[in-house]
Structure 1
Amino acid sequence: MKTFLPWIEDEALVSAVEHLVKKALGAKADAEANFGKNVIDPFSALFELSGFEIDVPTWIKSETARQAQKTLQNHIGDFHQRILGAVSGWEDMKTGSVIDLVNHERKIIVELKNKHNTISGGRLADVYKTFEDLVMPKSSHYKGYTSYYVAIIPKTKRRYDKTFTPSDKTKGSKCSENELIREIDGASFYQLVTGQKYALKELYLALPKVIAQITGKTLSDSDRQGLIGFFDEAFS
Protein backbone atom coordinates (compact mmCIF):
# COMPACT_ATOMS: atom_id res chain seq x y z
CA MET A 1 0.00 0.00 0.00
CA LYS A 2 1.19 3.54 -0.83
CA THR A 3 -0.64 6.14 1.24
CA PHE A 4 2.20 8.54 1.97
CA LEU A 5 4.37 8.46 -1.17
CA PRO A 6 3.87 6.94 -4.63
CA TRP A 7 7.36 5.47 -4.90
CA ILE A 8 7.72 3.53 -1.63
CA GLU A 9 5.47 1.15 0.27
CA ASP A 10 4.01 2.51 3.52
CA GLU A 11 5.40 -0.42 5.51
CA ALA A 12 8.98 0.30 4.41
CA LEU A 13 8.62 4.05 5.00
CA VAL A 14 7.09 3.64 8.46
CA SER A 15 9.72 1.06 9.42
CA ALA A 16 12.60 3.38 8.44
CA VAL A 17 11.08 6.34 10.29
CA GLU A 18 10.27 4.25 13.36
CA HIS A 19 13.86 2.99 13.49
CA LEU A 20 15.22 6.55 13.39
CA VAL A 21 12.72 7.81 16.01
CA LYS A 22 13.91 5.06 18.35
CA LYS A 23 17.50 6.09 17.70
CA ALA A 24 16.59 9.71 18.52
CA LEU A 25 14.90 8.75 21.79
CA GLY A 26 17.82 6.51 22.68
CA ALA A 27 20.36 9.23 21.92
CA LYS A 28 18.50 11.67 24.17
CA ALA A 29 18.25 9.16 27.02
CA ASP A 30 21.92 8.20 26.74
CA ALA A 31 23.05 11.83 26.67
CA GLU A 32 21.06 12.60 29.81
CA ALA A 33 22.19 9.45 31.63
CA ASN A 34 25.85 9.81 30.72
CA PHE A 35 26.22 13.58 31.00
CA GLY A 36 29.45 14.37 32.81
CA LYS A 37 31.00 10.94 32.28
CA ASN A 38 32.98 12.41 29.41
CA VAL A 39 35.31 15.21 30.44
CA ILE A 40 33.56 18.56 30.10
CA ASP A 41 35.49 21.46 28.62
CA PRO A 42 35.14 24.05 31.42
CA PHE A 43 36.71 26.79 29.29
CA SER A 44 34.14 26.31 26.56
CA ALA A 45 31.37 26.31 29.18
CA LEU A 46 32.67 29.54 30.72
CA PHE A 47 32.85 31.45 27.45
CA GLU A 48 29.52 30.09 26.22
CA LEU A 49 27.83 31.30 29.41
CA SER A 50 29.41 34.70 28.95
CA GLY A 51 29.12 35.03 25.18
CA PHE A 52 25.67 33.49 24.81
CA GLU A 53 24.31 35.16 27.95
CA ILE A 54 22.94 31.94 29.44
CA ASP A 55 23.11 30.27 32.86
CA VAL A 56 24.51 26.88 33.86
CA PRO A 57 21.19 24.95 33.71
CA THR A 58 20.55 26.31 30.21
CA TRP A 59 24.09 25.38 29.17
CA ILE A 60 23.65 21.83 30.49
CA LYS A 61 20.40 21.45 28.55
CA SER A 62 22.07 22.78 25.40
CA GLU A 63 25.14 20.57 25.80
CA THR A 64 23.02 17.48 26.40
CA ALA A 65 21.02 18.23 23.25
CA ARG A 66 24.25 18.73 21.29
CA GLN A 67 25.61 15.35 22.40
CA ALA A 68 22.33 13.63 21.52
CA GLN A 69 22.22 15.39 18.16
CA LYS A 70 25.73 14.24 17.32
CA THR A 71 24.73 10.63 17.99
CA LEU A 72 21.52 10.95 15.98
CA GLN A 73 23.25 12.46 12.97
CA ASN A 74 25.34 9.30 12.67
CA HIS A 75 22.11 7.45 11.87
CA ILE A 76 20.60 9.89 9.32
CA GLY A 77 22.64 8.46 6.45
CA ASP A 78 21.43 4.98 7.41
CA PHE A 79 17.86 6.30 7.27
CA HIS A 80 18.27 7.48 3.67
CA GLN A 81 19.91 4.18 2.79
CA ARG A 82 16.88 2.31 4.17
CA ILE A 83 14.45 4.55 2.30
CA LEU A 84 16.23 4.36 -1.05
CA GLY A 85 16.92 0.65 -0.67
CA ALA A 86 13.17 0.05 -0.37
CA VAL A 87 12.38 1.61 -3.75
CA SER A 88 11.55 -0.98 -6.43
CA GLY A 89 14.69 -2.30 -8.15
CA TRP A 90 17.05 -1.08 -5.44
CA GLU A 91 18.75 -3.07 -2.70
CA ASP A 92 20.06 -1.86 0.66
CA MET A 93 23.37 -3.66 1.16
CA LYS A 94 23.26 -2.97 4.93
CA THR A 95 25.99 -1.71 7.23
CA GLY A 96 29.42 -3.25 6.73
CA SER A 97 29.14 -3.85 2.99
CA VAL A 98 31.63 -2.35 0.54
CA ILE A 99 28.77 -0.42 -1.07
CA ASP A 100 25.52 0.93 0.37
CA LEU A 101 23.01 0.51 -2.47
CA VAL A 102 22.85 -1.42 -5.72
CA ASN A 103 20.49 -1.65 -8.68
CA HIS A 104 21.52 -4.59 -10.86
CA GLU A 105 18.99 -3.87 -13.60
CA ARG A 106 20.26 -0.32 -14.08
CA LYS A 107 23.86 -1.32 -13.23
CA ILE A 108 24.39 1.26 -10.49
CA ILE A 109 26.28 1.02 -7.19
CA VAL A 110 26.29 3.68 -4.49
CA GLU A 111 28.28 5.01 -1.55
CA LEU A 112 25.91 7.25 0.40
CA LYS A 113 26.68 9.85 3.06
CA ASN A 114 24.33 12.27 4.78
CA LYS A 115 26.47 15.42 4.50
CA HIS A 116 29.12 16.59 2.08
CA ASN A 117 31.68 16.89 4.90
CA THR A 118 31.06 13.44 6.43
CA ILE A 119 34.27 12.19 4.83
CA SER A 120 37.41 14.33 4.97
CA GLY A 121 38.91 15.45 1.68
CA GLY A 122 41.86 13.10 1.96
CA ARG A 123 39.64 10.03 2.28
CA LEU A 124 37.55 10.83 -0.79
CA ALA A 125 40.34 9.42 -2.94
CA ASP A 126 39.85 6.11 -1.12
CA VAL A 127 36.18 6.13 -2.15
CA TYR A 128 37.26 6.73 -5.75
CA LYS A 129 39.74 3.85 -5.63
CA THR A 130 37.11 1.53 -4.15
CA PHE A 131 34.76 2.38 -7.01
CA GLU A 132 37.54 1.95 -9.56
CA ASP A 133 38.33 -1.52 -8.20
CA LEU A 134 34.66 -2.47 -8.45
CA VAL A 135 33.59 -1.14 -11.85
CA MET A 136 36.75 -1.48 -13.97
CA PRO A 137 38.26 -5.02 -13.61
CA LYS A 138 36.83 -7.65 -15.97
CA SER A 139 36.61 -10.12 -13.09
CA SER A 140 34.52 -7.82 -10.89
CA HIS A 141 30.86 -8.57 -10.26
CA TYR A 142 30.18 -4.86 -10.86
CA LYS A 143 32.19 -4.53 -14.08
CA GLY A 144 30.71 -1.72 -16.19
CA TYR A 145 28.35 -0.47 -13.47
CA THR A 146 28.07 3.28 -12.87
CA SER A 147 29.17 4.18 -9.34
CA TYR A 148 27.84 7.19 -7.44
CA TYR A 149 29.19 8.96 -4.38
CA VAL A 150 26.10 10.62 -2.89
CA ALA A 151 26.03 13.49 -0.41
CA ILE A 152 22.39 13.94 0.58
CA ILE A 153 23.06 17.44 1.93
CA PRO A 154 25.39 19.14 -0.56
CA LYS A 155 27.87 21.92 0.00
CA THR A 156 25.81 24.33 -2.12
CA LYS A 157 22.21 24.43 -3.36
CA ARG A 158 23.27 23.75 -6.94
CA ARG A 159 22.28 20.32 -8.23
CA TYR A 160 25.02 18.23 -9.83
CA ASP A 161 25.69 14.86 -11.42
CA LYS A 162 29.28 14.83 -12.60
CA THR A 163 32.45 12.80 -12.73
CA PHE A 164 34.01 12.30 -9.30
CA THR A 165 37.59 13.60 -9.27
CA PRO A 166 38.75 14.11 -5.66
CA SER A 167 42.31 15.11 -4.89
CA ASP A 168 44.72 12.23 -4.38
CA LYS A 169 47.42 13.39 -1.99
CA THR A 170 49.59 10.34 -2.74
CA LYS A 171 49.87 11.49 -6.36
CA GLY A 172 49.63 15.23 -5.77
CA SER A 173 46.86 15.52 -8.33
CA LYS A 174 43.19 14.84 -8.87
CA CYS A 175 41.85 11.39 -9.66
CA SER A 176 41.30 10.77 -13.35
CA GLU A 177 37.91 11.48 -14.89
CA ASN A 178 35.90 8.31 -15.42
CA GLU A 179 32.28 8.42 -16.59
CA LEU A 180 31.58 5.32 -14.48
CA ILE A 181 32.73 7.06 -11.27
CA ARG A 182 30.45 9.96 -10.41
CA GLU A 183 29.24 12.21 -7.60
CA ILE A 184 25.72 13.52 -7.16
CA ASP A 185 23.71 15.63 -4.71
CA GLY A 186 20.90 14.15 -2.62
CA ALA A 187 17.94 15.74 -4.42
CA SER A 188 19.26 14.66 -7.82
CA PHE A 189 19.92 11.15 -6.56
CA TYR A 190 16.42 10.79 -5.15
CA GLN A 191 15.19 11.82 -8.61
CA LEU A 192 17.48 9.27 -10.26
CA VAL A 193 16.18 6.50 -7.98
CA THR A 194 12.46 7.33 -8.03
CA GLY A 195 11.98 9.13 -11.33
CA GLN A 196 10.33 11.99 -9.41
CA LYS A 197 12.06 15.38 -9.65
CA TYR A 198 10.97 16.49 -6.19
CA ALA A 199 11.10 13.10 -4.44
CA LEU A 200 13.37 14.30 -1.63
CA LYS A 201 11.02 17.18 -0.76
CA GLU A 202 8.03 14.85 -1.06
CA LEU A 203 9.69 12.63 1.54
CA TYR A 204 10.42 15.59 3.81
CA LEU A 205 6.83 16.81 3.63
CA ALA A 206 5.50 13.32 4.35
CA LEU A 207 7.72 12.67 7.37
CA PRO A 208 5.72 14.76 9.92
CA LYS A 209 2.63 12.68 9.09
CA VAL A 210 4.53 9.43 9.50
CA ILE A 211 6.15 10.59 12.75
CA ALA A 212 2.74 11.67 14.09
CA GLN A 213 1.34 8.23 13.28
CA ILE A 214 4.20 6.59 15.18
CA THR A 215 4.53 8.92 18.17
CA GLY A 216 1.17 10.69 18.36
CA LYS A 217 3.00 14.02 18.31
CA THR A 218 2.16 16.63 15.68
CA LEU A 219 4.02 19.77 14.67
CA SER A 220 2.47 23.20 14.95
CA ASP A 221 1.83 25.04 11.70
CA SER A 222 4.55 27.55 12.55
CA ASP A 223 7.11 24.79 13.24
CA ARG A 224 6.12 23.01 10.04
CA GLN A 225 6.61 26.17 7.98
CA GLY A 226 9.91 26.87 9.69
CA LEU A 227 11.19 23.40 8.88
CA ILE A 228 10.11 23.72 5.25
CA GLY A 229 12.13 26.94 5.19
CA PHE A 230 15.20 25.03 6.42
CA PHE A 231 14.72 22.48 3.64
CA ASP A 232 14.40 25.14 0.97
CA GLU A 233 17.53 26.86 2.24
CA ALA A 234 19.47 23.62 1.81
CA PHE A 235 18.04 22.39 -1.49
CA SER A 236 16.37 25.21 -3.46
Structure 2
Amino acid sequence: MRAFNRDNLKHAIRSSVRRVYEAQTTTPDLYRNTLDCFSAAIDSVVQGISLDDWLLQERERQIQKTKQNAIGSLHEEVMGSIDGVENLPVGNLIDVICHRKRIVAEIKNKHNTTKGNHKVTIYRDLVKAVEKYPGYTGYYVEVLPLKTAVYNEQFVPSDNQISARLPARDDIRKIDGRSFYALLTDEKNALDELYRELPTLVAEIINEEFGTQLKSDAVTSSAAFDFNFTKAYGKK
Protein backbone atom coordinates (compact mmCIF):
# COMPACT_ATOMS: atom_id res chain seq x y z
CA MET A 1 0.00 0.00 0.00
CA ARG A 2 1.32 3.46 -0.88
CA ALA A 3 -0.88 5.67 1.30
CA PHE A 4 -1.04 3.47 4.41
CA ASN A 5 1.11 1.23 6.54
CA ARG A 6 -0.84 -2.02 6.20
CA ASP A 7 0.06 -3.37 9.63
CA ASN A 8 -0.88 -0.10 11.36
CA LEU A 9 -4.14 0.06 9.41
CA LYS A 10 -5.02 -3.51 10.31
CA HIS A 11 -4.33 -2.88 13.97
CA ALA A 12 -6.40 0.32 13.95
CA ILE A 13 -9.59 -1.30 12.64
CA ARG A 14 -9.29 -4.68 14.42
CA SER A 15 -11.53 -3.80 17.36
CA SER A 16 -14.34 -2.44 15.17
CA VAL A 17 -14.19 -5.44 12.86
CA ARG A 18 -14.44 -7.75 15.88
CA ARG A 19 -17.57 -5.96 17.07
CA VAL A 20 -19.17 -6.24 13.64
CA TYR A 21 -18.58 -9.98 13.53
CA GLU A 22 -19.82 -10.45 17.09
CA ALA A 23 -23.01 -8.56 16.22
CA GLN A 24 -23.55 -10.97 13.33
CA THR A 25 -23.28 -14.00 15.62
CA THR A 26 -25.37 -12.67 18.53
CA THR A 27 -29.16 -12.84 18.73
CA PRO A 28 -30.51 -9.55 20.10
CA ASP A 29 -33.08 -9.54 22.90
CA LEU A 30 -36.00 -7.63 21.37
CA TYR A 31 -37.70 -7.24 24.75
CA ARG A 32 -34.72 -5.84 26.69
CA ASN A 33 -35.77 -2.21 26.18
CA THR A 34 -39.52 -2.95 25.94
CA LEU A 35 -40.79 -3.86 22.48
CA ASP A 36 -43.38 -1.46 21.06
CA CYS A 37 -46.17 -4.02 20.69
CA PHE A 38 -48.49 -1.49 19.04
CA SER A 39 -45.99 -0.61 16.33
CA ALA A 40 -45.19 -4.29 15.78
CA ALA A 41 -48.84 -5.20 15.30
CA ILE A 42 -49.58 -2.32 12.94
CA ASP A 43 -46.41 -2.79 10.86
CA SER A 44 -47.09 -6.52 10.50
CA VAL A 45 -50.52 -5.80 9.05
CA VAL A 46 -49.21 -3.08 6.72
CA GLN A 47 -46.49 -5.42 5.38
CA GLY A 48 -48.89 -8.32 5.06
CA ILE A 49 -46.71 -10.62 7.17
CA SER A 50 -47.21 -12.60 10.36
CA LEU A 51 -46.04 -11.23 13.68
CA ASP A 52 -43.52 -14.06 13.88
CA ASP A 53 -42.05 -12.98 10.53
CA TRP A 54 -42.00 -9.38 11.73
CA LEU A 55 -40.00 -10.40 14.81
CA LEU A 56 -37.43 -12.16 12.61
CA GLN A 57 -37.24 -9.03 10.47
CA GLU A 58 -36.79 -6.82 13.53
CA ARG A 59 -33.96 -8.99 14.82
CA GLU A 60 -32.15 -8.60 11.51
CA ARG A 61 -32.73 -4.84 11.61
CA GLN A 62 -31.27 -4.57 15.11
CA ILE A 63 -28.26 -6.69 14.14
CA GLN A 64 -27.64 -4.38 11.19
CA LYS A 65 -27.97 -1.32 13.43
CA THR A 66 -25.43 -2.77 15.86
CA LYS A 67 -23.05 -3.39 12.96
CA GLN A 68 -23.43 0.18 11.73
CA ASN A 69 -22.72 1.52 15.22
CA ALA A 70 -19.63 -0.69 15.44
CA ILE A 71 -18.13 0.80 12.29
CA GLY A 72 -19.32 4.34 12.97
CA SER A 73 -15.81 5.48 13.86
CA LEU A 74 -14.06 3.44 11.14
CA HIS A 75 -12.65 6.41 9.24
CA GLU A 76 -11.30 8.08 12.38
CA GLU A 77 -9.54 4.80 13.18
CA VAL A 78 -8.16 4.53 9.65
CA MET A 79 -6.92 8.12 9.73
CA GLY A 80 -5.33 7.49 13.11
CA SER A 81 -3.19 4.78 11.51
CA ILE A 82 -1.59 7.35 9.18
CA ASP A 83 1.83 8.56 10.25
CA GLY A 84 1.51 11.80 12.20
CA VAL A 85 -2.31 11.64 12.54
CA GLU A 86 -3.92 11.11 15.95
CA ASN A 87 -7.44 9.73 16.44
CA LEU A 88 -8.60 11.53 19.57
CA PRO A 89 -10.81 9.92 22.25
CA VAL A 90 -14.53 10.62 22.36
CA GLY A 91 -15.29 13.84 24.21
CA ASN A 92 -12.69 16.02 22.53
CA LEU A 93 -13.68 19.07 20.49
CA ILE A 94 -12.42 17.34 17.35
CA ASP A 95 -11.95 13.80 16.03
CA VAL A 96 -8.46 13.86 14.53
CA ILE A 97 -5.41 16.07 14.60
CA CYS A 98 -2.29 16.12 12.44
CA HIS A 99 0.44 18.42 13.75
CA ARG A 100 2.67 17.71 10.77
CA LYS A 101 -0.01 19.08 8.41
CA ARG A 102 -1.38 21.60 10.93
CA ILE A 103 -4.86 20.10 10.60
CA VAL A 104 -7.74 19.50 13.00
CA ALA A 105 -10.90 17.79 11.78
CA GLU A 106 -14.38 16.62 12.62
CA ILE A 107 -15.24 13.48 10.62
CA LYS A 108 -18.73 12.56 9.46
CA ASN A 109 -19.37 9.45 7.39
CA LYS A 110 -22.03 10.87 5.08
CA HIS A 111 -23.04 14.28 3.78
CA ASN A 112 -26.55 14.03 5.26
CA THR A 113 -25.52 12.69 8.67
CA THR A 114 -25.39 16.11 10.29
CA LYS A 115 -28.39 18.38 10.72
CA GLY A 116 -28.15 22.16 10.41
CA ASN A 117 -28.03 22.98 14.12
CA HIS A 118 -25.31 20.38 14.68
CA LYS A 119 -23.24 21.91 11.87
CA VAL A 120 -23.25 25.15 13.84
CA THR A 121 -21.85 23.27 16.83
CA ILE A 122 -19.17 21.67 14.64
CA TYR A 123 -18.20 25.09 13.25
CA ARG A 124 -17.81 26.53 16.73
CA ASP A 125 -15.82 23.52 17.93
CA LEU A 126 -13.47 23.89 14.97
CA VAL A 127 -13.05 27.59 15.75
CA LYS A 128 -12.13 26.72 19.35
CA ALA A 129 -9.68 24.10 18.08
CA VAL A 130 -7.86 26.46 15.70
CA GLU A 131 -7.73 29.07 18.45
CA LYS A 132 -6.03 26.45 20.62
CA TYR A 133 -3.67 25.60 17.74
CA PRO A 134 -2.88 28.90 15.97
CA GLY A 135 -1.99 28.48 12.32
CA TYR A 136 -3.93 25.23 11.97
CA THR A 137 -6.88 24.69 9.61
CA GLY A 138 -10.11 23.09 10.82
CA TYR A 139 -11.94 20.74 8.47
CA TYR A 140 -15.48 19.43 8.55
CA VAL A 141 -15.09 16.19 6.59
CA GLU A 142 -17.94 14.50 4.71
CA VAL A 143 -16.40 11.15 3.79
CA LEU A 144 -19.28 10.28 1.47
CA PRO A 145 -20.15 13.49 -0.43
CA LEU A 146 -23.38 14.42 -2.14
CA LYS A 147 -23.52 13.21 -5.77
CA THR A 148 -19.77 12.50 -6.11
CA ALA A 149 -18.95 16.16 -5.41
CA VAL A 150 -15.34 17.23 -4.89
CA TYR A 151 -14.80 20.28 -2.67
CA ASN A 152 -12.48 22.02 -0.27
CA GLU A 153 -14.28 25.22 0.57
CA GLN A 154 -15.10 27.57 3.41
CA PHE A 155 -17.52 26.00 5.88
CA VAL A 156 -20.31 28.52 6.53
CA PRO A 157 -23.38 26.82 8.01
CA SER A 158 -26.54 28.78 8.72
CA ASP A 159 -27.36 29.60 12.32
CA ASN A 160 -31.15 29.56 12.71
CA GLN A 161 -30.96 31.53 15.93
CA ILE A 162 -29.58 34.57 14.15
CA SER A 163 -31.09 33.78 10.72
CA ALA A 164 -27.72 34.17 9.04
CA ARG A 165 -24.66 32.23 8.02
CA LEU A 166 -21.72 32.09 10.37
CA PRO A 167 -18.64 34.13 9.39
CA ALA A 168 -16.63 32.78 6.47
CA ARG A 169 -13.05 31.93 7.39
CA ASP A 170 -10.26 30.46 5.30
CA ASP A 171 -9.17 28.31 8.23
CA ILE A 172 -12.60 26.67 8.74
CA ARG A 173 -13.39 24.44 5.77
CA LYS A 174 -15.65 21.71 4.44
CA ILE A 175 -14.07 18.91 2.42
CA ASP A 176 -15.07 15.62 0.80
CA GLY A 177 -13.56 12.34 1.96
CA ARG A 178 -11.45 11.56 -1.06
CA SER A 179 -9.86 15.01 -0.98
CA PHE A 180 -9.22 14.80 2.76
CA TYR A 181 -7.52 11.41 2.57
CA ALA A 182 -5.34 12.79 -0.23
CA LEU A 183 -4.50 15.79 1.96
CA LEU A 184 -3.49 13.62 4.92
CA THR A 185 -1.43 11.09 2.95
CA ASP A 186 -0.11 13.09 -0.03
CA GLU A 187 -1.54 10.29 -2.20
CA LYS A 188 -4.42 11.36 -4.46
CA ASN A 189 -5.78 7.80 -4.66
CA ALA A 190 -5.53 7.03 -0.93
CA LEU A 191 -9.27 6.47 -0.47
CA ASP A 192 -9.42 4.26 -3.56
CA GLU A 193 -6.56 2.19 -2.13
CA LEU A 194 -8.29 1.89 1.24
CA TYR A 195 -11.53 0.73 -0.36
CA ARG A 196 -9.81 -1.97 -2.40
CA GLU A 197 -7.79 -3.34 0.51
CA LEU A 198 -10.46 -3.18 3.21
CA PRO A 199 -12.35 -6.44 2.38
CA THR A 200 -9.12 -8.44 2.48
CA LEU A 201 -8.12 -6.87 5.79
CA VAL A 202 -11.53 -7.60 7.31
CA ALA A 203 -11.38 -11.26 6.25
CA GLU A 204 -7.87 -11.59 7.67
CA ILE A 205 -8.86 -10.07 11.01
CA ILE A 206 -11.96 -12.23 11.46
CA ASN A 207 -10.06 -15.38 10.48
CA GLU A 208 -7.33 -14.58 12.99
CA GLU A 209 -9.71 -13.63 15.79
CA PHE A 210 -12.40 -16.27 15.40
CA GLY A 211 -10.74 -19.14 13.55
CA THR A 212 -12.97 -18.79 10.49
CA GLN A 213 -11.95 -19.15 6.86
CA LEU A 214 -13.65 -16.17 5.29
CA LYS A 215 -12.55 -14.95 1.88
CA SER A 216 -13.05 -11.54 0.31
CA ASP A 217 -12.88 -12.63 -3.33
CA ALA A 218 -16.65 -12.83 -3.79
CA VAL A 219 -16.87 -9.18 -2.77
CA THR A 220 -13.92 -7.69 -4.63
CA SER A 221 -14.55 -9.63 -7.85
CA SER A 222 -18.18 -8.51 -8.06
CA ALA A 223 -19.08 -5.86 -10.64
CA ALA A 224 -21.00 -4.10 -7.87
CA PHE A 225 -17.77 -3.55 -5.91
CA ASP A 226 -16.39 -1.02 -8.41
CA PHE A 227 -19.85 0.26 -9.33
CA ASN A 228 -20.72 1.19 -5.74
CA PHE A 229 -17.49 3.13 -5.30
CA THR A 230 -17.97 4.95 -8.59
CA LYS A 231 -21.52 5.91 -7.62
CA ALA A 232 -20.15 7.46 -4.41
CA TYR A 233 -17.05 9.19 -5.78
CA GLY A 234 -17.32 9.27 -9.55
CA LYS A 235 -14.64 8.19 -11.99
CA LYS A 236 -11.04 9.27 -11.59
The reply to whether residue 211 of structure 1 matches residue 207 of structure 2 is: no
Per the alignment, residue 230 of structure 1 pairs with 228
Compare 12-21 and 198-207 and name the one that shifted more. Answer: 12-21
Per the alignment, residue 57 of structure 2 pairs with 62
> CA–CA distance in 1 between the matches of 2:228 and 2:53?
24
> Aligned in 2, Cα 1:60/1:183: closer, same or farther, shift over 3 Å?
same
- The alpha-carbon deviation at position 81 of structure 1 amounts to 0.9
> CA–CA distance in 1 between the matches of 2:100 and 2:73?
23
> CA–CA distance in 2 between the matches of 1:78 and 1:151?
13
Deviations 1:64-116 (A, max 9, x none): 22222223323434221111111122122222222111111221111112222
What is the total number of aligned residue pairs between the two structures? 227
> Aligned in 2, Cα 1:95/1:46: closer, same or farther, shift over 3 Å?
same
Any residues of structure 2 matched to 1:51-90 within 5 Å, and which? 54-90=49-85
Per the alignment, residue 148 of structure 2 pairs with 157
For the 8 Å contact 1:24–1:68, the answer to whether it is kept is no
Deviations 1:47-72 (A, max 9, x none): 65456565555433332222222233
Per the alignment, residue 171 of structure 1 pairs with 162
> CA–CA distance in 1 between the matches of 2:96 and 2:219?
36
For the 8 Å contact 2:199–2:216, the answer to whether it is kept is yes
Deviations 1:175-223 (A, max 9, x none): 1110000011111111111122221121111112112222231145367
> CA–CA distance in 2 between the matches of 1:17 and 1:56?
38
Identity %: 33
Matched AA of 1:98: L
> SS of the counterpart of 1:66?
helix
The reply to whether residue 125 of structure 1 matches residue 120 of structure 2 is: yes
For the 8 Å contact 2:105–2:139, the answer to whether it is kept is yes
- The alpha-carbon deviation at position 122 of structure 1 amounts to 0.8
> CA–CA distance in 2 between the matches of 1:161 and 1:14?
29
Per the alignment, residue 23 of structure 1 pairs with 19
Give 5+ residue unaligned stretches, structure 1. none
Matched AA of 2:129: L
Compare 81-90 and 217-226 and name the one that shifted more. Answer: 217-226
Normalized against structure 1, the TM-score is what?
0.84
Any residues of structure 2 matched to 1:7-46 within 5 Å, and which? 7-29=3-25, 32-42=27-37, 44-46=39-41
Compare 105-114 and 212-221 and name the one that shifted more. Answer: 212-221
> CA–CA distance in 2 between the matches of 1:222 and 1:102?
33
> Aligned in 2, Cα 1:18/1:183: closer, same or farther, shift over 3 Å?
same
> Aligned in 2, Cα 1:176/1:17: closer, same or farther, shift over 3 Å?
same
For the 8 Å contact 2:178–2:190, the answer to whether it is kept is yes
> CA–CA distance in 2 between the matches of 1:222 and 1:80?
20
> CA–CA distance in 1 between the matches of 2:215 and 2:25?
21
Normalized against structure 2, the TM-score is what?
0.84
- The alpha-carbon deviation at position 224 of structure 1 amounts to 4.5
Give 5+ residue unaligned stretches, structure 2. 208-212
The reply to whether residue 190 of structure 1 matches residue 187 of structure 2 is: no
> Aligned in 2, Cα 1:222/1:80: closer, same or farther, shift over 3 Å?
closer
The reply to whether residue 104 of structure 1 matches residue 99 of structure 2 is: yes
> Aligned in 2, Cα 1:76/1:151: closer, same or farther, shift over 3 Å?
farther
- The alpha-carbon deviation at position 232 of structure 1 amounts to 2.1
